[in-house]
Structure 1
Amino acid sequence: MFGFILWLIGGWSHGEALAVVDDALLAAFSLTATVFAGLAARSAHGRIRVAWTALAIGLAGWVVGEIIWTYYEAVAHQDPFPSLADAGFLLFPVGACAALLLFPDDYSNLSLGRVLLDGLIVAGSLFLISWVTVLGRVHETDTYNNLDFVVSLAYPVSDVVVLTVAAMVLVRAKTSQRMILTLLTVGIACIAVADSAFVYLGSSENYSSGDTVDIGWAAGFLLITVAGAAGRVSGPAEEEPDELPGWASIWLPYAPLLLAALVTAAEPPGALKSGPVLLVALLLVAGVMVRQFLAVNENRKLLVKLADQARRDPLTGLANRTLLYERFEHAMRLRERDQISVGVMSLDLNDFKLVNDTFGHHAGDELLHLVAGRLASCVRATDTVARLGGDEFVILVEGNADAVHVVANRVAAAFDDPFLVDGRELVILPSIGLATADPDEPDLSVDELLRRSDVAMYAAKRSRSRGVQIFTPRLQSLRIDNEEPRRALARSPIVTGANQLELLGELRRAISRSELCLVYQPQIDLRTSQIVATEALVRWDHPRRGPLGAEEFLPLVRRYGLMGPLNDFVVNRALDDAQRWQEASVALPVGVNLFAPPLANLELPGVIAEGLADRGLGAGILTVEITEHLLLDNLEPMRTVLDQLRQDGVRIALDDFGSGYSALSQLCDLPVDQLKLDRDFIAPIVTDERTADVVHAVVDFAHALGLSIVAEGVEDAETEAQLRAYGCDLAQGYFYSEPLTCQELLDQLKTPTSTGSS
């Protein structure tokens, strides 16, 4: 290439030899560019492959044109201009223009009108430059006939078009394509300058093959060859984030416009009055004015958009804290003026951190977006849904008290269906607190109303109750403490960070669909060796993990507020089975384990009494079992409930006694009828004399208090014999029977020899 340039500048050859060598080298340069464009097309994909193919076709046309030109000049010895060669040459700007338009660009942030106006201003400016430098001369010459003039005009006009497209594409090119497009644009510009110089020299019959003008074509093809080589090694186009328009994009129309003004200013005033110069100049002025109008209009829209974005949460599109407070202030003013209520709900997602930890923050963001959509669908146009950060949402409701509660119930119901996050169905429940500002509280501030809704929300979170927690003054004294369920959750063997959220959703569905089951551990009277009672044990037949004992999923139940539904299921199923036994003429007391917080529910005794009455069962058929640590830690809140249950005839048993650190003296104050000694307390009595003495003392002490004793986890005859010697009343364990289904236990009870150790 450099040798070719030096050869042309040095004039080391003349005449026909110069023309033949020049034509052959230009054909070789253009053919090389064609080959590399084809190779780039072969290695590319999608639109980029089509773009390189279009460029290769345009270059191939130029090669054919150069071959025809050489034939006319070297073989036929005829003037090759105009001829069929021009058809091949003019195919190049068509292919180049198509290729440039097919390369990925970044027009997403610009309006179509803005892009078209920029193109019009650039094209008009380049046309003025071309007219003053080349086209005007061609227009005034007498050398060309009509065909010559049309063909001569086609070169600079097509070059103006392709240069305009190149400039528009380059300044808005994707980052990954910018280097390749720069090489192509500079190469096309070199060819365009050479075309214009060719037409200019041809108008005065001063062009011949081997002129220094040919350097422009050679340089252009070299740059296109390099671009093709770069396109061949680059990978497939990747998605890139939208970028703000750069300074080159902003100043694009004005640079050629300024150059056109300088070029035309250098011309004599009279020369500008002929031809289309004045018309194009007027069009340019109009185009610039319209462009400025569009720019001002777009700026105004952007200001409005920015003002709205400043009041919106970027992730969900909901109102942010700023907009919420503005709406709040407005709502409170309307409350004073129109004497209406203002309700505010504070809401957060109980298991949101678990979603982030298990599936990643992208899943958490997806969940927040889905929650925002559901919340927005629950409210009216006059209400406001805001996200304050993390998983914290606030809903502002205006209107009468009934409207506030209707919206609140609608919001709670919106979480009944699972969320599809990252291809998984997740059951996510919220904690919702509601506070209402009624017209009779004129001095209530926005901050105080928000604080009340937060207090109610934390009360809902503490109780893990579904539905909406309404603020009352007594809620302010509640203490949030979920550490024990968290520790229990960490100890659960099947609950890990990777599966606990999925397992939680399955557990919720299993409880709501009554897919759990009860099995019964017989309790044996040590004096008669007969089955006299039974303990209900909850099991979950998991579809993938198989049968799961309560100890494997109770940590999830405690941690995620499922104790209420689980207790309801256990009590109702146990009473159903007790009714079935009674109808079979077998009256067998059944014990059920109940847990906090339902045990602090003052309505529990009434619910149990109703369940017994509906089934025609006496109260003595049911024993409520409570774990030692639960009763000792929460005795006062539960004493009223337990006293009422005992008054109704339901027996109370203290389960797992000996697993904690309670003092025997505390038994005097406990509202219980039965003491169940923990299996870890019973197991060593045959081999450990001190433990045996303690168990013996506990049995005697319990009997002195009027309590019956049940020994859990009896595994052998020696342990049974020793417990019988101590005066223990009842025993249960695998020595007597494994847990049985309702029907299996009934069959065993009907067997005349239904004894424990037999």
Structure 2
Amino acid sequence: MGKTTWVVVTAAVVAVVFSAGFIVVGDDEPAVSVMTNAASVLFAAFATVCAGRAARSTAGRKRLVWLSICIGLGGWLVGSFLWAYFELVTDIPPFPSVADLGYLVFPIGACIGLALYPVGHPGQSRTRLVLDGLIAAAALFQISWVMVLRDTYEADDTSRFAFGLSLAYPVCDLVVITVAVLAQTRARAGQRRTLTFLTLGVVVMALSDSAFVYLTAAGTYEDEIGRVVDVGYLVGLLVIAVAALLAVDEPATEPSLVRVPSRLALWLPYVPVAVAAAVCTPTNLHESGMAPLFLSTLVLVTAVLLRQFFVVRENRRLLDLVAEQALRDPLTGLANRALFNDRLSHAMQLHVRDRQPVAVLSLDLDDFKLVNDNLGHPAGDQLLVLAAQRILGCVRAGDTVARVGGDEFAVLLEGKTEHSRQVARRLMASFDEQFVIDGHDLLLRPSIGLAVATGDDATVSAEALLKHADLAMYSAKRSRTGGVHTFDPEMTRTRPKGTGKVGNAGTSTVRLLGQLRNTIDHAGLSLVYQPKFGLRDGEFVGVEALVRWPHPERGLLGPDKFLPLVREYGLMRSLTDLVVERALEDVARWKANGVRVPVAVNMFAPSLCDLELPKRILRSLDERDLSPDLLTIEITEDLLLDDVDRTRQVLDSLRGRGTRVAIDDFGSGYSALGYLCELPIDEVKLDRQFIAPIVDDARAAAVVRAVVDLAHELGMTVVAEGVENDDTTTMLRDYGCDVAQGFHFSPPLAGAELCDLLRRLTSPEPASSRSS
């Protein structure tokens, strides 16, 4: 057991001992008096110390709460000490006496403390809480006066001061009880344990006060029933002390969303008013001449109450609307970030308690800024609404979908992990259909990240789970490979970068980009093949795969029309995988027809940082029973490599399995010589702009000759691109260039046309390249 539990148990045992002592001493009045006063002082001191400790251990408004209650309990302690002194040491009657001033400090301190208690939401009126307490107290006092106190007042022969002082106790207690109950109705889940004990202790003290006043007026307090009242005081003090001890261990008050007050909190203060009217009406109607005045007063009060009823109902309806709007995105109607975080926190609490899996999906629309910039913000808003509808169509009724940013959405999923993966797949598939915005067909794909807290993982927090989903989403956005990226701890080592450069594209570019994504996703691109020939013997040595886009409206588009979009918007890996798969399919078909055709495939330099690339390529070759030396990977040299060391590791892995590596468009960039030194290269392909001027420009010819000699010194094959005439071919042959390609030999051919070319060649078996 914890320290707080031991203290509470000890105090409870002491209370039981004192209670048992009352029974043991029986009718021994002096002994009962000593025990009663000693217990009162002891328990009041204990409760005061506990409240003081709570005030010292808490902060902010809670410190003021317990400081006020501590002062109230301190007043009770002083009153108990003075009462004991008057009763045991002197002959001065303890009631009424200066001790009552100390006792009355308690309900005032308790009332202030309860009114200050941080319940509800910031900004909620605390003055109204006190006023509600006064209304209820006044009504309850009227009831008590008519039913009990008036007869006692008229029959009592004590001074009016003593009687007024005795009435101060129940009046103050009624206010405290009402404020305590109303505070309890406002309490949030995390506050109710402490506040329940505090309310219970205050109520027990108030009931004991009322019983004391009644029994004193009736002259029966000194009987055995008075001992029960004394025990009630002790119990009340003990329960308040427990509340103070619980407050010490209670976490800091969590920020709360704005919540509409319950109907109980709104109408509870008026219940005693209605009861008071029902009790007082018959009595006042019997008074001479009071009937007309009382009836008019009753009509007036009823009208005021009815008007208040309608005002409160209208205000509540407005509060419902405001609270709903405060937690909803005004554009899409989805939950906003505040509501999503609130529900995520609650879900994580259930996750810790019940081991229930929780998943968060983070979703961001790719290239959404293009829509805003080129079609306008109204079109962007319309797109967000349509996207929200698609997301809602993929989740269950109990799942939470929120718009947490401009084009960012989040989904909270509770339950089986497999369900969250199914929802993620449905979400991705739902965006395959184009959006129709202002007459434009737009295809925007999302980047989706998934983070899951399994039932066995009770350590992850709500903030961490949301951050993990964001990291996975950024990973998906960087790769632009489609699908859903699930969080992996490795992602924390890579800082999220931007979503890519957004150029000054017009509406046509937005449409073209969407169409390109759709075409790549559905393998709608085609390949043509540029034949390559050995310059020494003229033998066919292989082909280079070139991608084309058969656009339904613009006709056959060359790579210069769409590769800039591929580079700029992160479609490189998707396009590369498509080209490799399609090229190897054709190579396998040619092999089945008895023709061995090595193929070269262009690959953007940044793609070579992917350590999984060799495994994917080898798997594709094995699936088609193709030898790795039938494939040459050509690095597009006009793009800089992100990580040379990582790229070298990938290329070594490829070459170790027999795949060849070439630098494409050598001379078009600035890093060529560095690549020759740092990377394992088999071939150097001279750029067409490097080759074209050699016939007329001696300096260009000298540079080409030097590059050929350098490549041979490094053990590399040299391939010339864009050879257009016989003079260029002759010079390249004289320089020792190994292979050439260009329109002088053959234009790019479709697969069927390439087969016809191979049949026309004199050699049925094409020779391999110089280094194969």
TM-score range, shorter chain: 0.5 to 0.7
Q: Relative to 1, partners in 2 of residues 1:671 and 1:677: Cα closer, same or farther, differing over 3 Å? A: same
Q: Could you list the runs of 5+ residues in structure 1 that have no partner in the other structure?
A: 1-284, 491-495
Residue 473 of structure 1 aligns with which residue?
489
Cα RMSD, aligned residues only: 3.1
Residue 9 of structure 2 aligns with which residue?
none
Bigger mean CA offset, 359-368 vs 298-307: 298-307
> Which residue among 345, 357, 366 is the counterpart of 2:361?
345
> Which residue among 478, 486, 489 is the counterpart of 1:462?
478
Work out whether 1:689 is the aligned partner of 2:698: yes
Q: Percent identity?
A: 55
2: CA distance between counterparts of 1:503 and 1:407? 29
Q: Map 1:13-162; keep pairs closer than 5 Å.
A: none
Per-residue Cα deviation, 1:683-703 (whole angstroms, up to 9, x for no partner): 222233333222211111111
Residue 564 of structure 1 aligns with which residue?
573
Tell me, yes or no, if the aligned pair for 1:311 and 1:320 is still in contact at 8 Å: yes
Q: Say which SS state the counterpart of residue 389 (structure 1) adopts.
A: coil
Residue 652 of structure 1 aligns with which residue?
661
Please state how far the C-alpha of 1:511 moved relative to its aligned partner.
2.6
Please state how far the C-alpha of 1:656 moved relative to its aligned partner.
1.0
2: CA distance between counterparts of 1:329 and 1:390? 23
1: CA distance between counterparts of 2:753 and 2:358? 59
Please state how far the C-alpha of 1:454 moved relative to its aligned partner.
1.9
1: CA distance between counterparts of 2:407 and 2:730? 59
Residue 282 of structure 2 aligns with which residue?
none
Residue 746 of structure 1 aligns with which residue?
755
Tell me, yes or no, if the aligned pair for 1:408 and 1:468 is still in contact at 8 Å: yes
Residue 448 of structure 1 aligns with which residue?
464
Tell me, yes or no, if the aligned pair for 2:605 and 2:637 is still in contact at 8 Å: no
1: CA distance between counterparts of 2:322 and 2:441? 36
Residue 363 of structure 1 aligns with which residue?
379
Residue 540 of structure 2 aligns with which residue?
531
Q: Relative to 1, partners in 2 of residues 1:701 and 1:360: Cα closer, same or farther, differing over 3 Å? A: same
Tell me, yes or no, if the aligned pair for 1:524 and 1:730 is still in contact at 8 Å: yes
Per-residue Cα deviation, 1:394-417 (whole angstroms, up to 9, x for no partner): 222223433433333333333232
Residue 509 of structure 1 aligns with which residue?
518
Residue 91 of structure 2 aligns with which residue?
none
Q: Map 1:311-460; keep pairs closer than 5 Å.
A: 311-438=327-454, 442=458, 444-460=460-476
Please state how far the C-alpha of 1:741 moved relative to its aligned partner.
1.4
Please state how far the C-alpha of 1:334 moved relative to its aligned partner.
1.5
2: CA distance between counterparts of 1:669 and 1:724? 28
Q: Relative to 1, partners in 2 of residues 1:451 and 1:617: Cα closer, same or farther, differing over 3 Å? A: closer
Q: Relative to 1, partners in 2 of residues 1:348 and 1:596: Cα closer, same or farther, differing over 3 Å? A: farther
Please state how far the C-alpha of 1:480 moved relative to its aligned partner.
5.0
Per-residue Cα deviation, 1:207-240 (whole angstroms, up to 9, x for no partner): xxxxxxxxxxxxxxxxxxxxxxxxxxxxxxxxxx
Tell me, yes or no, if the aligned pair for 1:567 and 1:594 is still in contact at 8 Å: yes
Please state how far the C-alpha of 1:742 moved relative to its aligned partner.
1.5
Tell me, yes or no, if the aligned pair for 1:532 and 1:589 is still in contact at 8 Å: yes
| Pairs aligned (count) | 467
2: CA distance between counterparts of 1:632 and 1:387? 37
Tell me, yes or no, if the aligned pair for 1:605 and 1:644 is still in contact at 8 Å: yes
Per-residue Cα deviation, 1:19-40 (whole angstroms, up to 9, x for no partner): xxxxxxxxxxxxxxxxxxxxxx
1: CA distance between counterparts of 2:306 and 2:655? 89
Work out whether 1:554 is the aligned partner of 2:570: no
Residue 241 of structure 2 aligns with which residue?
none
> Which residue among 629, 635, 643 is the counterpart of 2:644?
635
2: CA distance between counterparts of 1:407 and 1:690? 63
Q: Map 1:582-593; keep pairs closer than 5 Å.
A: 582-593=591-602
Per-residue Cα deviation, 1:666-720 (whole angstroms, up to 9, x for no partner): 4133122111011122122223333322221111111111110001111222222
Q: Could you list the runs of 5+ residues in structure 2 that have no partner in the other structure?
A: 1-300, 767-772
2: CA distance between counterparts of 1:289 and 1:509? 66
2: CA distance between counterparts of 1:437 and 1:677? 53
Per-residue Cα deviation, 1:349-381 (whole angstroms, up to 9, x for no partner): 112111112221111111111111222222233
Per-residue Cα deviation, 1:423-472 (whole angstroms, up to 9, x for no partner): 33322111122223345555543333322222222121111132222222
Structure 1 letter corresponding to 2:380: G
Q: Say which SS state the counterpart of residue 507 (structure 2) adopts.
A: coil
Q: Say which SS state the counterpart of residue 685 (structure 1) adopts.
A: helix
2: CA distance between counterparts of 1:616 and 1:436? 39
1: CA distance between counterparts of 2:674 and 2:517? 40
Tell me, yes or no, if the aligned pair for 1:383 and 1:396 is still in contact at 8 Å: yes
Q: Relative to 1, partners in 2 of residues 1:331 and 1:646: Cα closer, same or farther, differing over 3 Å? A: same
2: CA distance between counterparts of 1:506 and 1:592? 23
Per-residue Cα deviation, 1:311-340 (whole angstroms, up to 9, x for no partner): 111001111122122212212221222122
Q: Relative to 1, partners in 2 of residues 1:477 and 1:607: Cα closer, same or farther, differing over 3 Å? A: closer
Tell me, yes or no, if the aligned pair for 1:668 and 1:705 is still in contact at 8 Å: no
Q: Relative to 1, partners in 2 of residues 1:518 and 1:343: Cα closer, same or farther, differing over 3 Å? A: same
Residue 149 of structure 1 aligns with which residue?
none
1: CA distance between counterparts of 2:405 and 2:732? 60
Structure 1 letter corresponding to 2:347: A
Q: Say which SS state the counterpart of residue 519 (structure 1) adopts.
A: strand
1: CA distance between counterparts of 2:340 and 2:448? 18
Structure 1 letter corresponding to 2:699: R
Q: Say which SS state the counterpart of residue 591 (structure 1) adopts.
A: strand
Q: Say which SS state the counterpart of residue 444 (structure 2) adopts.
A: coil
Tell me, yes or no, if the aligned pair for 2:520 and 2:578 is still in contact at 8 Å: yes
1: CA distance between counterparts of 2:673 and 2:523? 39
Structure 2 letter corresponding to 1:451: K
Tell me, yes or no, if the aligned pair for 1:748 and 1:754 is still in contact at 8 Å: no
2: CA distance between counterparts of 1:711 and 1:523? 9
2: CA distance between counterparts of 1:663 and 1:611? 29
Residue 575 of structure 1 aligns with which residue?
584
Per-residue Cα deviation, 1:578-601 (whole angstroms, up to 9, x for no partner): 233334433221111123665444
> Which residue among 547, 552, 557 is the counterpart of 1:543?
552
Structure 2 letter corresponding to 1:623: T
1: CA distance between counterparts of 2:318 and 2:641? 64
Q: Relative to 1, partners in 2 of residues 1:382 and 1:513: Cα closer, same or farther, differing over 3 Å? A: closer
Structure 1 letter corresponding to 2:379: A
Structure 1 letter corresponding to 2:487: F
Tell me, yes or no, if the aligned pair for 1:463 and 1:597 is still in contact at 8 Å: no
2: CA distance between counterparts of 1:546 and 1:478? 41
Q: Say which SS state the counterpart of residue 732 (structure 2) adopts.
A: helix
Please state how far the C-alpha of 1:752 moved relative to its aligned partner.
4.0
Structure 2 letter corresponding to 1:353: K
Q: Relative to 1, partners in 2 of residues 1:479 and 1:326: Cα closer, same or farther, differing over 3 Å? A: closer
Structure 2 letter corresponding to 1:375: I
2: CA distance between counterparts of 1:461 and 1:572? 23
Residue 173 of structure 1 aligns with which residue?
none
2: CA distance between counterparts of 1:604 and 1:697? 34
Tell me, yes or no, if the aligned pair for 2:479 and 2:573 is still in contact at 8 Å: no
TM-score, normalising length: structure 1: 0.57
Structure 1 letter corresponding to 2:697: D
2: CA distance between counterparts of 1:586 and 1:628? 31
Work out whether 1:719 is the aligned partner of 2:728: yes
1: CA distance between counterparts of 2:498 and 2:412? 29
Structure 2 letter corresponding to 1:714: V
